[in-house]
Structure 1
Amino acid sequence: MCSGGFAKCLGITLMPLCIVCVLCNILLFFPGGTSVDSENITEQVWYFGGILGSGVLMIFPALVFLGLKNNDCCGCCGNESCGRRFAMLSSILFAAVGVMGAGYSVIVSSLAINQGPRCITFKNKTHVEWGTPFSDGDYLSNRTLWTDCLEPDNVVSWHLSLFSVLLVMGLIQMALCAVQVVNGLLGAICGDCCGCCGGSDGAV
């Protein structure tokens, strides 16, 4: 497969991942599927890891990858393939942006999973208030602790599921962008194996 065609496949794969990450981050603003006051939303949700990191920042490399297949490889005053080589080289920079964006989302998601959600819990077994009852991921290995969150309903599974999706999607995005770094280097050094200039046999 041409390096440009392979990059297009990566771009096509990244686009739905971006959408999923944005949707997950939006859903996290409604813990347990309910509306709560902004100060009672888990802190890491406001870092917008899914919206900014794996969403907005990832759209730019995805669009660049999608356009590489149609780049004019006969640019540079007719110098065969130098336009395509430059495009593949520039895609490495966008892939690096994608890695940073996805990495940011992964870090935020990891912190959120480790901390656990904000919820209504007993304070000193005397009254209820909003807080973060878990620490150091202790609830991950001890599901009985989930009952410490009284409301919203199912907030722990909601929090854990959505941030886990963001974590996995971010790791996949990082891997795809890293693959494009290698693909871009090969395309810049070796050129596109499907050179469009050579594709027109009748060209003078």
Structure 2
Amino acid sequence: MGLETCGNCLSCLLIPLALWSIVVNILLYFPNGKTSYAASYQLPNYVWYFEGICFSGVMSFISIVLALLGIAFSGYNCIISALGLIQGPFCNSSTGWDYIFKDTAGGYLTDYSAWSRCTEPANIVEWNIILLSILIALSGLQMIICFLKVTAELKRTLCGTYSVFVQAGII
């Protein structure tokens, strides 16, 4: 497999990853498929950063610069998703709507008995853990692919297999 074919293959892999990131991020707006939480702004604050839609959805195809942007944007997606996972969901509990797990530093992730403290939306802890984990995995794959793309483009440019200069025709 030639370097150019590998670069094109990497670009093709970014398309479905970007589309899945967008879909998963949109699902975060509708816990359990219900629109009422989005309509009443009872969603976690990290959802409004649009990490999977705007940033992880940016695909790098042609140049090193775009691949570097892909690394940066995928990294942004990964960081925001991880912070959202650590913070925990915004949910209704006996004390009202709040981030009831915010002081656990992510410890709630393995304390399954504490998840029942979130009474609304139903199963919001599981919903957020699954979707944010998927976003972390997708953005990680995108960072790896974009890094490989940068490497392939740099090798192609620096090793002379990429025509940087346009040769003028002889008249």
Q: TM-score range by the shorter chain?
A: 0.7 to 0.9
- Structure 1 distance, partners of 2:47, 2:7, is 31
Alignment of 1:88-103 (within 5 A): 91-103=63-75
1:2/1:192 contact within 8 Å kept: no
- Structure 2 distance, partners of 1:158, 1:191, is 49
Is 2:145 aligned against 1:181? no
1:34/1:152 contact within 8 Å kept: no
**Equivalent in the alignment of 1:104:** 76
- Structure 2 distance, partners of 1:7, 1:38, is 45
- Return the index of the structure with the highest Cα Rg: 1
Alignment of 1:1-204 (within 5 A): 1-35=1-35, 36=37, 37-55=39-57, 57-58=58-59, 61-62=60-61, 64=62, 91-123=63-95, 129-135=96-102, 136-192=105-161
Runs of 4 or more above 6 Å deviation: none
TM-score by length of 1: 0.74
Residue 192 of structure 1: how far off its partner (Å):
3.5
Show CA shifts across 1:143-170 (max 9, x none). Answer: 1110010011111111110010000110
Aligned residues: 159
1:21/1:51 contact within 8 Å kept: yes
1:95/1:177 contact within 8 Å kept: yes
Residue 38 of structure 1: how far off its partner (Å):
4.2
- Structure 2 distance, partners of 1:41, 1:116, is 11
Root mean square deviation of aligned Cα = 1.5
TM-score by length of 2: 0.88
Q: What residue identity is the alignment partner of 1:155?
A: I
Q: What residue identity is the alignment partner of 1:118?
A: F
Q: What residue identity is the alignment partner of 2:69?
A: V
- Structure 1 distance, partners of 2:28, 2:73, is 19
Show CA shifts across 1:17-55 (max 9, x none). Answer: 000000011000012322213421110000000001111
1:92/1:185 contact within 8 Å kept: yes
Residue 132 of structure 1: how far off its partner (Å):
1.2
Please, which moves more after superposition, 46-55 or 25-34? Answer: 25-34
Q: What residue identity is the alignment partner of 1:184?
A: E
1:3/1:192 contact within 8 Å kept: no
Residue 182 of structure 1: how far off its partner (Å):
1.1
DSSP-derived class of the 1:130 partner: strand
Residue identity over aligned pairs, in percent, reads 36
